[in-house]
A and B are shown apart, each in its own frame.
Chain A
Amino acid sequence: MTRRFGLRAAGLWVVAGLLVSVWVFPVLWGLLTSFKTERDVLAYPPLFVFEPTLANYREVLFGTSTILPNLLSSMIVASGSTLLTLLIAVPAAYGLARLRFPGRKATGFYVLATQMLPPVGLIIPYYLVMQKAGLLDTYTGLITIYLTFSLPFAVWLMVSYFEDVPYEMEEAALLDRAGRLRTLWYVILPQVRGGIAVTTVFVFLNAWNEFLFAVVLGGNKVRPVTVAMFNFISVEQTQWARLAAGAMLAMAPVIVIGLAAQRHIVKGLTVGAVKGGGRR
């Protein structure tokens, strides 16, 4: 290794370290806080060495203010919207990428256009619609609303994956008597499974992390964990340690999924940047 390369690598490490620490610090601080007593949390100067306790976790999991039902609620909403999104987006994206039909371009643009609205602007109309339909505080209602955001996103992501599959491969399958559906199933889908993985992760995490619509359109029955966090913040006081423990539990699936799918996600974000570039 040359001296110049060594310096360069060191520089990169420093810059990367600084950037990462900005993201990692709050998470680590939250993790520390979740093991402190309320008294230690408020100590000043902040304590780095303290006697750790699991009391906060015991409380948020099994105490009076348990978030277990909310974790379940989040799981239902996130899994439900992910499953439905994939069921609709994958065939839709295939159609947009491959089939020739009148209005194909317009359809593509329409799908994209729905992404151009700021979500906050939709809260009141959505609330009114859900109220009229009797879908406030129901899983059906919240999942439907999440679909309106995740579907366009998923369709556009999947289109770029389908476009990467060479036409000739599909034609070969058609000549091999596979027909449209079996071509899709046996030849095309296995080649876009990376894209399906990325889409699943993105859609699931977006739904899991969503707060705004959950707080407005949810209620006592449908109360995802992001909303439930607020149980620990009241007018008189904020229970920082419990809040931190709850946040850690809510974050756990996100971090696990993120780490597991890291490789796919990076690939997913760069797809289309190198058209047809060595993905075979």
Chain B
Amino acid sequence: MRGSAHVHMQGIVKRHGAFTALHGIDLVIEPGEFFALLGPSGSGKTTTLRILAGLEDVNAGQVWIDGQDVTHAEPGARDVAMVFQSYALYPHMTVAENIGFPLKMIGTPASDVGRQVKDAAARVAIDHLLDRRPGQLSGGQQQRCALARAIVRQPRLFLLDEPLSNLDAKLRLETRAELRKLQRSLGVTAVYVTHDQEEAMTIADRMAIFMDGRIVQVGTPHEIFRRPATATVAAFIGTPPMNLLPATLQAGWVHVAGKSMPVIFPKGTAREVTLGIRPGDLRLADDGIAARVEFVEDFGDSSIVNLEVAGQRVKLRAGELPAVREGDDVHLTFEPTAAHLFDRADGRRI
């Protein structure tokens, strides 16, 4: 492999008419990293990827790949490969011709093309399908063909735009792991766009969370899960995501739904906050926040209890099926260290 790229984006602004899609994106991606751009649809993550690929112009800001300013370079001049959500295979070419196309375009001798196409196809286990056309392949095979086409040229940067979203659930899990392995073995830098937080959490070395055209947090999945920077990020990450309740913070205590619970936070004047508790950190207890059981989801090895607290839905994850039934009145508690607090006005972590 020809090595892996270092990516640096600074102050990227993108407007579509009056609408601003990106309000100044700053991003550094280290060589060899598997980096996820995560966010809800319309948050700007795909636009960021397309700017990196050179498929979109920027209104302001700069993009460097390996220290070279490529802000206005043509897509073909950047030495990047991309896997599209729709795979964008060429329907009139065979699998072998599809994979060999990038090689043909850079003038690789025909004898080498055949060998490199076979190698790339073997890496993604479709070397027995080389004579088929894309229309004769299953969704998973098409996806592999698109991957092979991207890796065959040995690019320094590998861009993936929701590559797994068109696969069924089981295949998606398998491919996710294989994709990670493939990227590792190639040592190439990969930038991966997804709206599926679980996918990003499991596959990425680091990730950037996009909200409304801004990056609100960058970090390892663990960091972001442990310390979400805003209430919105907290509500986006985790399966199921964090419970958020309006509360008041005062002198090491948080007042929530008519109950005071101890938390480890600096004392000070009272302030309005949003209290965040992961479903796995909530426990049923004899005393605590009053709640009513709405329904229980049983997954066999674990269960989710859906509760109502002061008019809001709260989820509790339990290992074993708790002995509660619909309509039961219960009490909830949590460890003081498990509480996340966010400023009620701007949503930032306290």
Contacts and interface: CB of A to CB of B under 8 A. Distances in A.
Interface of A: 166, 168-169, 171-179, 182, 186-187, 190-191, 280
A175 B86 contact: no
A175 B91 contact: no
B53 interface: yes
B92 A191 contact: yes
B55 A190 contact: no
Interface string B19-40: 0000000000000000000000
B81 A175 contact: yes
Interface of B: 53-55, 74-76, 80-82, 84-86, 88-92, 101-102, 105-106, 134-135, 149, 153
B135 A280 contact: yes
B76 A178 contact: yes
Given A169-B90, A190-B92, A280-B91, A178 B105 contact: yes
Contacts, number: 60
A178 B104 CA distance: 9
Identify whether the interface residues of A are mostly helix, strand, loop, or mixed: helix
B88 A171 contact: yes
A191 B135 CA distance: 13
A177 B149 CA distance: 12
B84 A177 contact: no
A190 B98 CA distance: 14
B84 A174 contact: no
B92 A177 contact: no
Contacts of B102: 176-177
Contacts of B91: 191, 280
Contact of A179 (B76, B82, B90, B149): B76
Contacts of B90: 169, 172-173, 186-187, 190
Nearest 10 Cβ contacts at the A-B interface: A177-B76, A172-B88, A176-B102, A168-B88, A190-B92, A177-B105, A168-B84, A174-B75, A169-B88, A175-B75
Most buried by A among B80, B81, B88, B135: B88
A168 to B, nearest CB: 4
Contacts of A190: 90, 92
Contact of B88 (A166, A182, A186): A166
A177 B53 CA distance: 12
